[in-house]
């Protein structure tokens, strides 16, 4: 054998021709071998040497060299061991005796021809294919069959295989292989396997095999085994035959390289073929269903195929997508006719929105035919409309009616209750936590998702294309034979005709649609590379994704089903296409490089579908932007499908559609600063801020200037609507500018308005006056904006729950335009709508952006409500109430968003009608999405959540895919303004922290952490930014959490106060924290650093108590103003006995002189009986979470005490997972 150091040790004999003992040189070597290749004796050493341990020789014991056959020494001490030309001693060989003399065949005076693996191969010796023989003396694995090698290469060394007779055999090739045994699932690797044509048997080096596979050998009298080194489990078992131990090991996977020859046929519906298509290609075309189903489908349609290339049933996309637990037992019942029973279930929400903004899909499965309909949804509330569509379709197309529906009883099916009763449909509902009773729909989800993921995996398309993959999967599932239908397809079962397989193509493959009708001039190419996205039931053609992001449907296509654009760097034109290796070696199918519209942020080169090679500068400028938007409907829903795709919004999961261009790229373009001014600027020094080149689809992003907006139809229409509204409102009058008059500029502002689920509601363009050019005392005098306090909103929500009132939401269109101006203001004409360059606008009404615009609107709405009998609250001037003759109505105003609630819905309806007579108001119905807060109403109350805002914030901070954490701040955190290096972008730090403040409106548990990082806004350091990122990581894992409100049994006030004394390591100021409940609902909280240093913990607690007493007093004043009765005085709980004593003891002493004002304030409230201060143990102090960072166990407990819980939808899902 060959050692790694190049030496050639002796070769062991593997076995003899029979099981009889042999004598070499008169010595007994007839023992069986052990795992080390030595003789199996009861004594240690290399043989039975007189019954003693050790290597000592017994008297008269002489060994025979295996190289020269001379007695008296061993092979390792032989002079001829390394002599390549040595041919042996001829007649000087030792005598070899055998008990069966008729088997002694002497040749040329040498040893008889024994059964030795090292002897040269000849016609009389046949190779035992599949058998491998362990050799403890071998240093490498050896085979004589070239087919046993994977990735073989010629052996370039000069070493030869040293044989037992002293000769060296030529080594032809070297490679690797993988073996497996039918007795176990473990794969065995043979590394550096040598191909020696002259060897007669396949040899396994025991030492190398054991090392490479973490196993060990055990040799017994009649058999041997290989055991796992860690578990001691028996893997393969070998038997003893003719004195040889041998294992039956087979090859695993493909050994020989296959070549594929294809020929392009540039005709419609034609792929690259060569004779009969490979069955693996049909396996891909049919959505990676089983090979048995593929064969049955093709044979049923009389389609020939090539079945010779299947070497292994392993398909990587199938393994990636279909790994699952063991299934439940299938149901044996089946309906006798179609539509007797329809199974349905909702899937979602998806972890990321699709390119068309879909979050869910619902399936309907006919129990008789197993035919499946799929509808893509953006909201769960759309389920009812999809079933009505299916019901009408069945009634019209099949002249039948749906008789029964099986579902899991989800809330999305409740709106159909009356419809089921009217149509006589029996609605069967599975028991709670028993999804097996709706197994048909549940299994269909698995089938759809697995096949869809397989389609995405084979093409490496981003996961946001799951809607196209799933609809294609349903299209294929309906056309693939099903075992439950006696191998008929659902399509054939329902429509009584066989499906047409000739039109099927591989999802995500490269295709070339005919583009001549879309060309703008005659010199454009007639086709372009695209990606096949699936089928459409309404058109007899294919969906194709173009590099521009546009989706077209056409029948004139040439397919290249062996290549996938998302896997290749480049794709040329015509039939001669050169494809390179995939850009990303990872098998993760979430990162794609095609097209530019959906390009991930990566340093890998972008794939180009242009016909000429572009420079980097041209490539950056060629990021195509589709100018249309729409949605892709379900394939089987037969709904009208627009021809263009709608990419994901900017604040969704795919935040990687921007490419950064740094200063080095600017230099590469040849830019050179020619400014000769002596001032040294950043531009002269070559310092540039990163520039973001947007590659989103137009209509999703917000234009930055008027010129960009005017080129986009959807934004141009929004501008026209805003301009028309201003003219209808008589906002200005065109006139000439008087002499010495001040002229105010204006600007167009663009905003994409979204629904609670993140989908687009509308595109809003607003003309804003440039108020920063106004002068106080000349252009304006007073300013004010009607912004209701968050605490007031929570109190009104609690009050509405207490009395079971409805809350109505209104939106005032162009609210500021309703305000009347008392000053004369001149403004430039709006850009894009200029009438005459010499005329200006004299404003008759207030306009957004003016300093006094918000106050003018407030005064207008205040006068209108006062005329209707409403009073303005003194506690919160943005709250209006009507309380007469037992009728109570409350109005909350937040600029142009209004909430209305009360005990008389009829009068509220009349109120809305009257307000619509004064202002342009949209009635949004029941509260559902207010100020970016998702309000979910249930039978138990309200849940306030900011999921979409948090996702947008995470995208802004580039932390959408950040790892999650369980707490917003670590307990050992001690942030200082002096420790750490400055952050690179202080503006980004301030922006993120400011956004986090808005999140605390519904997330009080992060209030302390946000307050802490807010203390370093002027000079943020790296440790501060690290703390901010931890808060974001916490929010990423709990974005579905929010503030919960339940129906209270009373309206009593309860407060908790706490402080953390001298916790700031820089100035030793204390942290105050408090929270206030009304009827168990949290309505107010605060975490704030005190203004001065407290000299004792009592002082710190007392100052914190003063803050909560002020808050409770204001809340009680507001409730009294609204005529809300309470059964007791407010109770305030603190965990400091000294502070409680000070609040009731009139005696002052030296330690409390400096807090005399706070003392008198609290003491007066306590003495008057307005509040009651009680003691609570620190363990039960709810405000503790607002003063310090807590460990996970205490933090989770405190978070729950603040009524912060998961969204009801997620909470139900977590409960189900715990019960299953």
Nearest Cα to Cα of residue 751 among 726, 722, 780, 782? 722
Question: How many CB atoms neighbour CB 1116 within 10 A?
Answer: 18
Exposure pattern of 1069-1096 as b/e (b: 16+ CB <10 Å)?
bbbbbbbbbbbebbbbbbbbbbeeebee
Six-digit token string for 876: 């919160």
CA distances 347 to 636, 653, 866, Å, are: 16, 19, 50
**Do residues 475 and 637 touch, judged by C-beta distance below 8 A?**
no
CA distances 584 to 456, 531, 560, 589, 718, Å, are: 15, 18, 21, 10, 42
Parallel, antiparallel or unpaired: strands 131-135 and 161-162: unpaired
At 883 the three-state DSSP class reads strand
Six-digit token string for 536: 């459409």
Q: Kindly tell me the number of DSSP H helices and DSSP E strands found in the chain.
A: 25, 50
**Do residues 143 and 152 touch, judged by C-beta distance below 8 A?**
no
Strand order through the sheet with 1041-1046: 929-930, 933-937, 941-945, 1041-1046, 1204-1206
Strands (DSSP E) contained in 1032-1175 are 1041-1046, 1053-1060, 1071-1078, 1081-1089, 1131-1134, 1172-1175
- Which residues are tagged catalytic? 135
CA-CA distance, 1115 to 1051, in Å (whole number)? 11
CA-CA distance, 1055 to 100, in Å (whole number)? 104
Exposure pattern of 206-226 as b/e (b: 16+ CB <10 Å)?
bbbbbeebebebebeeeebbb
**CA-based R_g, the chain, Å:** 41
CA-CA distance, 1095 to 362, in Å (whole number)? 64
At 787 the three-state DSSP class reads strand
Largest alpha-carbon pair distance within the chain? 135
Length of the chain counted residue by residue: 1220
Ordered DSSP codes for 1009-1037:
HHHHHHTTSSS-BHHHHHHHHHHHHHHHH
Residue 349 preceded by cis peptide, ω within 30: yes
CA-CA distance, 475 to 536, in Å (whole number)? 9
Task: Supply the DSSP symbol for 25.
Answer: T
Contacts 24+ apart (CB under 8 A), 904-909: 905/806, 908/806, 908/808
Parallel, antiparallel or unpaired: strands 1131-1134 and 557-560: unpaired
| Residue tagged 């029996």 (tokens) | 426
Strands (DSSP E) contained in 638-797 are 658-661, 691-694, 732-736, 743-744, 746-754, 760-769
3-state SS track over 350-405: CCCCCCCCCCEEEEEEECCCCCEEEEEECCHHHHHHHHHHHHHHHHHHCCCCCCEE
**Do residues 878 and 791 touch, judged by C-beta distance below 8 A?**
no
> How far, rounded to the nearest angstrom, does the alpha carbon of residue 946 sit from its chain's CA centroid?
19
């Amino acid at each position: 054998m060959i050692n790694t150091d190049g030496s050639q040790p002796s070769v062991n004999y593997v076995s003899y021709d029979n099981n009889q003992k042999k004598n070499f040189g008169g010595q007994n070597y007839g023992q069986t071998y052990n795992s080390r290749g030595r003789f199996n004796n009861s004594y240690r050493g290399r043989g039975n040497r007189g019954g003693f341990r050790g290597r000592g020789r017994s008297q008269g014991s002489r060994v025979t060299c295996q190289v020269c056959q001379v007695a008296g020494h061993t092979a390792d001490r032989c002079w001829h061991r390394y002599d390549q030309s040595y041919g042996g001693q001829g007649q000087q060989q030792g005598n070899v005796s055998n008990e069966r003399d008729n088997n002694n065949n002497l040749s040329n005076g040498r040893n008889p021809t024994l059964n030795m693996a090292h002897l040269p191969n000849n016609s009389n010796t046949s190779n035992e294919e599949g058998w491998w023989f362990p050799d403890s003396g071998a240093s490498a694995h050896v085979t004589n069959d070239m087919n046993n090698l994977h990735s073989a290469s010629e052996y370039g060394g000069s070493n030869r295989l040293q044989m037992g007779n002293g000769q060296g055999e030529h080594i032809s090739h070297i490679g690797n292989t993988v073996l497996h045994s039918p007795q176990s699932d473990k794969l065995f690797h043979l590394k550096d396997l040598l191909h020696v044509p002259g060897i007669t048997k396949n040899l396994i080096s025991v030492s190398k095999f054991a090392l490479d596979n973490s196993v060990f050998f055990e040799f017994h009298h009649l058999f041997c085994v290989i055991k796992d080194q860690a578990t001691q489990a028996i893997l393969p078992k070998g038997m003893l035959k003719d004195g040889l131990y041998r294992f039956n090991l087979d090859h695993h996977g493909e050994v020989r390289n296959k070549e594929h020859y294809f020929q392009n046929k540039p005709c419609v519906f034609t792929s690259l073929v060569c004779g009969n298509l490979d069955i693996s290609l049909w396996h891909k075309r049919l959505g990676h269903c089983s090979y048995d189903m593929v064969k049955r489908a093709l044979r049923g349609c009389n389609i020939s195929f090539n079945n010779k290339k299947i070497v292994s049933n392993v398909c990587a996309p199938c393994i990636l997508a279909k790994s699952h637990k063991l299934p439940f037992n299938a149901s044996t019942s089946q309906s006798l006719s179609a539509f007797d029973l329809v199974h349905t279930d909702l899937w979602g929400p998806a972890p990321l929105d699709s390119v068309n903004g879909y979050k869910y899909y619902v399936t309907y499965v006919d129990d008789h035919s197993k035919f499946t309909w799929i509808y893509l949804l953006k909201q769960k509330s759309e389920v009812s409309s999809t079933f009505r569509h299916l019901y009408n379709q069945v009634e019209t197309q099949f002249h039948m009616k749906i008789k029964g529906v099986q579902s899991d009883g989800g809330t999305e099916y409740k709106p159909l209750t009356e419809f089921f009763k009217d149509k006589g449909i029996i609605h069967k509902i599975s028991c709670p936590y028993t999804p097996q009773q709706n197994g048909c729909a549940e299994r269909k989800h698995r089938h759809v998702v697995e096949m869809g993921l397989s389609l995405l995996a084979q093409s490496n398309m981003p996961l946001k294309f799951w809607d196209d993959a799933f609809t294609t999967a349903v299209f294929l599932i309906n056309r693939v034979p099903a075992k439950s239908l006696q191998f008929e397809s659902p399509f054939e079962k329902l429509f009584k005709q066989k499906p047409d397989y000739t039109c099927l193509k591989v999802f995500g493959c490269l295709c070339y649609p005919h583009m001549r009708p879309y060309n703008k001039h005659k010199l454009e190419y007639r086709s372009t590379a695209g990606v096949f996205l699936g089928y459409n039931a309404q058109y007899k053609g294919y969906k194709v994704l173009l590099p521009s992001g546009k989706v077209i449907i056409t029948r004139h296509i040439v397919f290249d089903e062996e290549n996938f654009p998302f896997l290749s760097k480049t794709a040329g034109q015509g039939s001669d296409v050169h494809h390179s290796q995939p850009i990303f070696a990872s098998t993760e199918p979430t990162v794609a490089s095609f097209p530019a519209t959906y390009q991930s942020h990566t340093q890998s080169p972008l794939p180009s579908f242009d016909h000429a090679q572009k420079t980097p500068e041209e490539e950056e400028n060629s990021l195509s932007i589709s100018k249309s938007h729409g949605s892709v409907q379900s394939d089987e829903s037969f709904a009208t499908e627009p021809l263009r795709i709608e990419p994901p919004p900017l604040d969704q999961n795919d935040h990687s559609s921007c490419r950064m261009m740094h200063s080095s790229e600017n230099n590469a373009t040849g830019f050179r600063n020619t400014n000769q001014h002596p001032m040294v600027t950043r531009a002269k020094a070559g310092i540039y801020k990163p520039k973001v080149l947007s590659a989103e689809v137009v209509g999703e992003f917000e234009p930055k200037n008027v010129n960009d907006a005017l080129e986009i139809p959807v934004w141009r229409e929004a501008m026209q609507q805003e301009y028309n509204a201003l003219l209808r409102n008589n906002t200005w009058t065109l006139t000439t500018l008087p002499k010495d008059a001040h002229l105010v500029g204006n600007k167009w502002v663009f905003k994409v308005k979204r629904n609670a689920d993140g989908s687009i509601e509308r595109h809003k363009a607003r003309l804003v006056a440039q108020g920063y050019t106004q002068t106080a005392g000349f252009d304006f005098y007073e300013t004010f904006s009607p912004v209701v306090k968050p605490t007031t909103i929570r109190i009104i929500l609690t009050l509405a729950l207490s009395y079971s009132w409805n809350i109505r939401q209104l939106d005032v269109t162009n609210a500021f335009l309703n305000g009347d101006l008392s000053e004369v203001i001149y403004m430039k004409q709006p850009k894009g709508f200029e009438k005459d360059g010499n005329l200006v606008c004299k404003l008759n009404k207030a306009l957004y952006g003016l300093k006094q615009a918000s106050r003018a609107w407030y005064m207008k709405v205040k006068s209108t409500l006062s005329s209707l009998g409403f009073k303005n609250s003194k506690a919160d001037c943005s709250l209006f109430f009507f309380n007469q003759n037992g009728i109570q109505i409350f109005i909350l105003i937040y600029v142009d968003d209004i909430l209305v609630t009360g005990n008389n819905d009829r009068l509220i309806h009349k109120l809305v009608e009257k307000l619509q007579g004064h202002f342009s108001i949209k009635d949004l119905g029941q509260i559902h999405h207010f100020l970016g807060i998702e309000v979910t109403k249930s039978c138990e109350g309200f849940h306030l959540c900011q999921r979409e805002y948090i996702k947008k914030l995470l995208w802004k901070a580039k932390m959408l895919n950040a790892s999650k954490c369980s707490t917003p701040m670590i307990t050992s955190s001690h942030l200082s303004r002096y420790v750490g290096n400055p952050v690179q972008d202080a503006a980004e730090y301030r922006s993120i922290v400011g956004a986090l403040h808005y999140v605390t409106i519904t997330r009080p548990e992060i209030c302390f952490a946000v307050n802490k990082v807010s203390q370093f806004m002027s000079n943020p350091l790296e440790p501060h930014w690290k703390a901010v990122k931890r808060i974001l990581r916490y929010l990423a894992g709990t974005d579905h959490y929010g503030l919960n409100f339940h129906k209270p049994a009373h309206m009593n006030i309860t407060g908790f106060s706490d402080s953390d004394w001298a916790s700031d390591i820089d100035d030793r100021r204390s942290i105050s924290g408090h929270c206030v409940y009304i009827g168990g609902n949290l309505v107010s909280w605060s975490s704030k650093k005190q203004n001065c240093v407290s000299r004792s913990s009592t002082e710190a607690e007392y100052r914190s108590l003063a803050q909560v007493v002020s808050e409770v007093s204001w809340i009680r004043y507001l409730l009294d103003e609204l005529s809300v009765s309470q059964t007791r005085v407010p109770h305030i709980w603190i965990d400091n006995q000294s502070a409680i004593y000070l609040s009731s003891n009139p005696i002052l002493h030296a330690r409390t002189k400096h807090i005399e004002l706070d003392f008198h304030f609290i003491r007066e409230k306590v003495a008057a009986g307005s509040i009651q201060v009680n003691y609570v143990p620190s363990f039960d102090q709810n405000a503790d979470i607002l003063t310090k960072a807590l460990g996970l166990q205490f933090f989770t407990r405190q978070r729950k005490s603040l009524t912060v819980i998961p969204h009801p939808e997620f909470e139900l899902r977590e409960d189900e997972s715990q019960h299953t």
